[in-house]
Structure 1
Amino acid sequence: MIDLEKRISDDLLAAMKEKKEMELSTLRMLKAEFQRAKTEKGHAGELSEDEVVSLIQRLVKQRREAADQYTAVSAGDRAARELKEALFLETYLPEQLSDEELGQIVEEAGALAKAAGPKDMGRVMGKVMAAVKGRADGKRVKTKVQEYLQSLVE
């Protein structure tokens, strides 16, 4: 598998050559975030694949939240741009799990954690998040885990 950070650098160069403004500004922002993360963690070299995926997920989440805020104040054009950036960034994330696959992982994690109800949310979430590693959004995981734990008490 090609290194994700290298792929992003290559795409940045291609966006410059092709004068794709939205991709170019988004990738520049992403590269700046890589540099900041390396500086914060004292990395001499590259970030790990998991760190890169985690960083991209955080940026996607920020873009979606910003879009919600822009929509709330009737700034539809700004919201649309944030959503376009989020969709573009998502192309660098691993393929997302289907609802069925996520449900299976939640059930397995629940069984491992010996979950009995909603009070076991933290234990199950920890196991599920470790298992999905960037292949499912945290909100989606939380909803699935809540549904699963609620079904145990009914």
Structure 2
Amino acid sequence: MAELKDKLKSDMVVALKAKDTARLGTLRMVLAAVSTEEVSGKQARELTDEDVQRVLTREAKKRKEAAEAFDSAGRADQAAAERAEADVIAEYLPAQLSDDDLAALVDQAVSEVSAQVGGELSPKQMGLVMKAANAKVAGRAEGGRVATAVKARLAG
């Protein structure tokens, strides 16, 4: 079983004993999402830590988008609750890359892909660069940030 899933379960028990309802609810929701992912598809499977991390990233993104939607609708209390859930989920995700670190990884990916292609890259090769960059980033930056950095690097 994935160590991250075990940690989520043990932290849920701690939150239950401490009567921390907000944390408990968030951890239950995340574990439900993990369980759903395990049984999705044609055959049930056990998720790796990397798979669990992808589920956590997806759930954190949902919370962020929901908070923005609640803010725009004038529901500050709901937005705060969504942000609190996102903060709990963020504790289990790797630290996000700084803009400088992300730019350095994108530069490495661009140089690797240009060496493979054998020349200067154009924006048409963005897919190749994105594939290489995402492998280097490994969940430490949102896809939108990576895409923006790659576009900026290929354009300039």
TM-score, length-scaled by structure 1: 0.90
Matched, 1:118 2:129: no
> In the alignment, what sits opposite 1:43?
44
Describe how 1:56-67 pairs up with structure 2 within 5 A: 56-67=56-67
Q: Hey, what does 1:132 align to over in structure 2?
A: 137
Match of 2:17 in 1: 17
Deviation at 1:3, TM superposition (A): 1.3
Alignment of structure 1 residues 25-36 onto 2, 5 Å: 25-36=25-36
- Identity fraction in percent: 36
Gaps of 5+ in 1: none
**C-alpha separation in 2, matches of 1:81 and 1:118:** 40
Distance 2:142 2:105 in 1: 14
Q: Alpha-carbon deviation of 1:143?
A: 1.7
**Once the 2 structures are TM-superposed, how far is the Cα of residue 96 of structure 1 from its aligned partner?**
2.0
RMSD of aligned Cα (Å): 1.5
Q: Normalised by the size of structure 2, how large is the TM-score?
A: 0.89
CA offset digits 1:5-40 (Å, max 9, x no partner)? 111101000000001111000000011111111111
Cα distance in 1 for partners of 2:79, 2:123 equals 35
The residue identity in structure 1 corresponding to 2:141 is A
Which sections of structure 2, spanning at least 5 residues, go unmatched?
Answer: 115-119
1:142 aligned partner: 147
- The residue matched to 1:92 in structure 2 has which SS? coil
